[in-house]
Chain A
Amino acid sequence: MVTEVVMPKMGYDMTEGTIVRWRKDEGDEVARGEVIAEVETTKVTVEVEAYTGGVLRKILVPEGQTVPVGQVIAVIADRDEAIPGLDKEPRADKAAREVKKAAPRPQEAAEAVTTAEEEAPRIAASPVARRMAREQGIDLGQITGAGPGGRITKEDIETFLARRPAEGPKPAPTPVAAARAAAPHDIPYEDRELSRIRQTMARRMAESKRVAPHFYVTSDIDMTELLKLRKGLNELVGEGARISVTDMLVKGAAKTLQEFPEVNASFAEGKLRVYRRINIGVAVALDEGLLTPVIADCDKKSLREIAQEAKEVVERARTGRLRPEDFTPGTFTISNLGMFDVEEFVAIINPPEAAILAVGSVAPRPVVVKGEIKVAERMRVTLSADHRVVDGATAARFLQRFKVFLEQPLHLIT
C-alpha cells in the first residue's frame, strides 16, 4: 500500500518545516513508529515517525529544503509496488506554486510604515486608517482595531491620536520611536540574530497583547497542606516518579477548569469557543526561548500520570526532541517563575487561549490568622485573562476555587 508522508503540522501556527536530516535512505525498510526524519520548525527540531511500515521508496524533499505543512515529503510502499505519478512533480511543487500564487503582495507601494508590519501577520485596517497612520507616522501594530474582525478604522486612529500627547510612560517600549528613528543613533551597538523560537515568540506575544484585552487577578495561597501532601506522595512513589509543585498546580487548574468551562475557551470570530478537552501547557524556559509543551486531557489524568508526562515532555523540549503530539493545541497555560525567587508576576496570554496562570515562589511569609501574625508557606498566583471571554467576577471565582483545591489538596487526588 502506497503511503504518502506529509510535512506534519506540529504547532498551532506552524506553516512550514525544514528537513534537517533524513534518518533513513531510499530503499530502507521502515517500521511503524520508527523515526525517519528530523524536521525543524520555527521553534524546535522534531522527529517525524513513519505511521505505516514498509520501504521508504522515495524521498521527495532533500535535506535543507523548507516546504509547507501538508506537502508530501516521502513515499512509503512495498518494495516492488508501483507508485503512480512518482516521476512527475506531484502535489509537491504544485502545492508550493499555489502557495506562492495565493500570497500576493496586496497594494501599498508607499507602505513605508514599519518593518515590523512587513513580517508580522497582516493587520486589518481600512484604507483611510492606513493612510492616516502613514501620514501620522503611526505603527498600526500599536493599535487595537475595534472594527469588524479587529479591523483598525478611522475612529481607532483618531482615538489614538487624541490620546497620544497625554499618554504617560507605557508598560512596554513603544515601537513608534523605533519606526520614526530612521536616523542612526550615536550609541554604539551590535545586532544579534534572534532564534526562530524568539522570532515566533516576539510575533505571538505582541499579537496577544494587541488583540486580547488583558486583565489580571491575583491570589495569595497557603501552601502548607499542599507541600505536606506532596512530601507524602513522593515518599510513596519514589525517586523516578517525583511529583512537583507544578504538576499539582496543573491538576488543580484542570479541576478548576472542569468547573469553569467558560475559561477553557477562546474568543473565536465573535463567539465563545468552549473546548471539550482540557489541555494545559507548561511553560519551559530554554536558552533559545520559551516553549509551552502541552499535556492533554489533564482532567482525565492522575497526578502521577501528569507528573510522568510533564517530566518526559519537558525533557524532550530541553533536548530538542519534541514530537508532533507534544504540539496538541492547549486550552490553558501555567507559567512558573517561582524557581527564580520571583514573588509574583504577570504573564501574557498564549493566543488563542483565554487565560494564563503566572505562579510565583513558595516561601515563608507572614500571615494574619485570627488576629495574630504567623508564618506560613505562601504562594502568589496571578491569572491573566482575556476580557473578551472572561469577566472579572468569573476570573475571581476561578481563582477562589483554584485556591480551595490547593489549600485542601486532597481534592487533587479524588
Chain B
Amino acid sequence: MPMITYREALHQALREEMTRDERVFIFGEDVVAYGGAYGVTSGLVKDFGEKRVMDTPIAEMGIAGAAVGAAMGGLRPVAELMTINFALLASDAIINHAAKVLHMFGGQMSVPAVFRMVGGGGAQLAATHSQSLEPLFAHVPGLKVVLPATPADAKGLLKSAIRDDDPVLFIEHALLYRVKGEVPEGEYLTPLGKSEVKRQGKDVTIVAYSKMTLVALEAADRLSQEGIEAEVVDLRTLRPLDMDPVLASVKKTNRAVTVEEAWRTYGIGAEVASRIQEEAFDYLDAPIARVAGVEVPLPYAKNLEQAAIPDANRVIEAVKQIFSRAAA
C-alpha cells in the first residue's frame, strides 16, 4: 500500500471528486497560484480551470455565504476558510444558514457544502491563529464536523464529505500535513459518523481525534511497556458522534480517558464522558479522566505553547491516575 502524506491524501481526494462530479468546485484565499495556505490545492487549477478553482478576497463571511448560496443553487462547493480561527467570522453563514436551511426550508433544499479549514496549534502562530474551536461547531444541529487523524482517513473522509448532502466542517491539523501513512489505492470512501478503534487493548480506553489520536497512540505504546494495554478510539467525526466503539471498549476495559487539543470546559471530552456514564455506568471502575488543552489563549513562546498542548506524558499521567490505588 502506498505511503503518502496527509496533504497529498487530501489533494488526491479533491482531485478525484472534482473529476467525478463537475458540480464540485473549490474557492478560498490563495487557493490558486499559491496552492492553498497549506499547499493542498496546489496544481488543481491547471487541470480544472479558473472557474472551478477560484481565489477570493480575505472575506470569510463572504466565502461561507457564497458557499451556502452555491450549494443551495445546486453546486457542491468546497470552500477553504484557511483556519478555524477565521471561521468565526463566518459563523453566521455556517451556523445560522448552512446548518438550518434544510430545516427552515422544510426539506426543499439542502446545503451540500464542505468548509475546509485548519484547526489546532503548535507552530507558534499564537493565540488567535492556534485555536481548536470544533466544540463550538459540533454543538450545532444541522452541521457535520469531521477531523481526520491519518492520511487514509483524510482522503476517505473528504471524499465522503464532498458527496454528503449536508454541510460538513472538515477540520485538518497543520502539524499533520507532513505525516505519512498507508493509503489504499483506488477508489474508497470512509463513512462520516463512524469512530474507529486505532489500537486494541484491554486495560483502558483512550478516546481522541485529530492530532490527539497520534498523541494517544504514542502514549499507548509507552504504557504498553509498563504493562498497561490501552485501546485507542479515534472519533473521526464529532457530529454525528458515534459512541458504539467507545462504549464497547469501556465495557471491556472499565476505564476511560478522553484527549482533546481543545479546552476542557464544555469540550468534546465532556460530551464523551457524559455519554459513557449514561450508557456504560455499570462498567466504570474509575472516574473518567479528561486530558485537554490548558485553558489559556495559546502562548507564542515555544516552551509555553508546548506546555499548553496535551502530549503523551499528560495522557500517561491521566491513565496512571485512574489506575491509582489508595495510598498504603
Known contacts A128-B254, A154-B254; A145 and B326 CB within 8 A of each other = yes
A149 touches B326 (CB 8 A): yes
Q: Nearest chain-A residue to B321 (Cβ)?
A: A148
A147 sits at the interface (CB 8 A): yes
B283 sits at the interface (CB 8 A): yes
B33 sits at the interface (CB 8 A): no
B285 sits at the interface (CB 8 A): yes
A130 touches B282 (CB 8 A): yes
Binary B-proximity of A129-157 (CB < 8 A = 1, otherwise 0): 11100000000000001111111011100
B282 touches A127 (CB 8 A): yes
- Across-interface contacts of A155 in B (CB, < 8 A): 285
- Across-interface contacts of A129 in B (CB, < 8 A): 285
- Docked CA distance A262–B286 (Å): 32
Interchain Cβ contacts under 8 Å between A and B, 30 examples: A126-B285, A127-B281, A127-B282, A127-B283, A127-B285, A128-B254, A128-B282, A128-B284, A128-B285, A129-B285, A130-B282, A131-B283, A145-B326, A146-B325, A146-B326, A147-B286, A147-B325, A147-B326, A148-B324, A148-B325, A148-B326, A149-B326, A150-B326, A151-B326, A153-B285, A153-B286, A154-B285, A155-B285, A270-B326, A270-B327
**What residues of chain B have their CB less than 8 Å away from a CB belonging to chain A?**
254, 281-286, 324-328
- Docked CA distance A128–B285 (Å): 5
Q: Nearest chain-A residue to B282 (Cβ)?
A: A131
- Across-interface contacts of A150 in B (CB, < 8 A): 326
- Docked CA distance A126–B284 (Å): 7
Beyond A127-B283, A150-B326, A153-B325, 18 extra complex contacts between A and B, CB < 8 Å: A126-B254, A127-B282, A127-B284, A127-B285, A128-B254, A128-B283, A128-B284, A131-B282, A145-B326, A146-B326, A147-B286, A147-B326, A148-B325, A153-B285, A154-B254, A270-B326, A270-B327, A388-B328
Q: Nearest chain-A residue to B325 (Cβ)?
A: A146
| B273 smallest CB distance to A (angstroms) | 14
Does more than half of chain A's interface fall in helix, strand or loop, or is it mixed? helix
Which of A130, A148, A155 has most chain B Cβ within 10 Å?
A148
A: number of interface residues (CB 8 Å): 18
- Across-interface contacts of B325 in A (CB, < 8 A): 146-148, 153
Give me the 8 closest cross-chain CB pairs, A-B, nearest first: A131-B282, A270-B327, A154-B285, A126-B285, A127-B284, A128-B285, A146-B325, A127-B282
- Across-interface contacts of A149 in B (CB, < 8 A): 326
| A123 smallest CB distance to B (angstroms) | 14
- Docked CA distance A129–B324 (Å): 16
- Across-interface contacts of A145 in B (CB, < 8 A): 326
Binary B-proximity of A113-133 (CB < 8 A = 1, otherwise 0): 000000000000011111100
Binary B-proximity of A154-189 (CB < 8 A = 1, otherwise 0): 110000000000000000000000000000000000
- Across-interface contacts of A151 in B (CB, < 8 A): 326
Q: Nearest chain-A residue to B280 (Cβ)?
A: A127
Q: Nearest chain-B residue to A129 (Cβ)?
A: B285
Binary B-proximity of A261-305 (CB < 8 A = 1, otherwise 0): 000000000100000000000000000000000000000000000
- Across-interface contacts of A130 in B (CB, < 8 A): 282
- Docked CA distance A149–B286 (Å): 12
- Docked CA distance A151–B283 (Å): 15
- Across-interface contacts of B254 in A (CB, < 8 A): 126, 128, 154
- Across-interface contacts of A126 in B (CB, < 8 A): 254, 284-286
- Across-interface contacts of A270 in B (CB, < 8 A): 326-327
- Docked CA distance A128–B284 (Å): 5
- Across-interface contacts of B285 in A (CB, < 8 A): 126-129, 153-155
| A304 smallest CB distance to B (angstroms) | 43
- Docked CA distance A150–B325 (Å): 9
- Docked CA distance A154–B324 (Å): 13
| A150 smallest CB distance to B (angstroms) | 6
